[in-house]
A and B are shown apart, each in its own frame.
Chain A
Amino acid sequence: DAKTTQPTSMDCAEGRAANLPCNHSTISGNEYVYWYRQIHSQGPQYIIHGLKNNETNEMASLIITEDRKSSTLILPHATLRDTAVYYCIVRVYNQGGKLIFGQGTELSVKP
């Protein structure tokens, strides 16, 4: 199964863009990159996903490199409520399309 590598923690100033990197160098051609976040003791919240094109929605933007070996999640204007653990996940086709979670990045947004 493809795996992801993320920094353990990051800080971001409130109102600034938060750029969260992720490496997934062994990703297969038909596997999607997903991002979720989890606030302590809650269920993970879906943010965005993509295959090879850049994606944007109301929460964030996802930039995937051309070789698909890495990606960046961008929160354009971080708020204190964005403080959470962010998971970069490779979604596979087998096992019902399971999500393979790594350790995640703990993002702290500071005033």
Chain B
Amino acid sequence: DGGITQSPKYLFRKEGQNVTLSCEQNLNHDAMYWYRQDPGQGLRLIYYSQIVNDFQKGDIAEGYSVSREKKESFPLTVTSAQKNPTAFYLCASSGGQGPIYEQYFGPGTRLTVT
């Protein structure tokens, strides 16, 4: 089955530690995105990548880093510089650039930092 997988579903870390969230897609999509969702709110864009080896900052990139070495993978690292890392993180992919292409989401990773 084609789709987007995120692992793990729940992640717990101590404050001051970096943590990497996995996102893999087998849809052959060029574009991939990372969003963050806080309780009772909509999603906010962290980073996006329109092609392998290229990525751009979104609206709330501070404290996060990404890589795009393979078309199917777009891992997100939450660094110790992120002030409020506890949130629900969602990865998405899209078949092309621009708003005519739907974005499909993975199941998400809920990160708790204490």
A56 to B100, CA, bound (A): 16
Residues of chain B having any CB pair with chain A under 8 Å:
4, 6, 31, 33, 35, 40-45, 48-50, 56, 58-59, 88, 90, 92, 94, 97-108, 110
Residues of chain A having any CB pair with chain B under 8 Å:
30-32, 34, 36, 41-46, 49, 87, 91-93, 95-99, 101-104
A49 to B102, CA, bound (A): 8
A99 to B46, CA, bound (A): 12
Contacts of B97 in A (CB 8 A): 96-97
Q: Could you tell me the dominant secondary structure of chain B's interface residues?
A: strand
With known contacts A41-B108, A42-B108, A44-B43, A99–B90 Cβ distance under 8 A:
no
Contacts of B102 in A (CB 8 A): 34, 46, 49
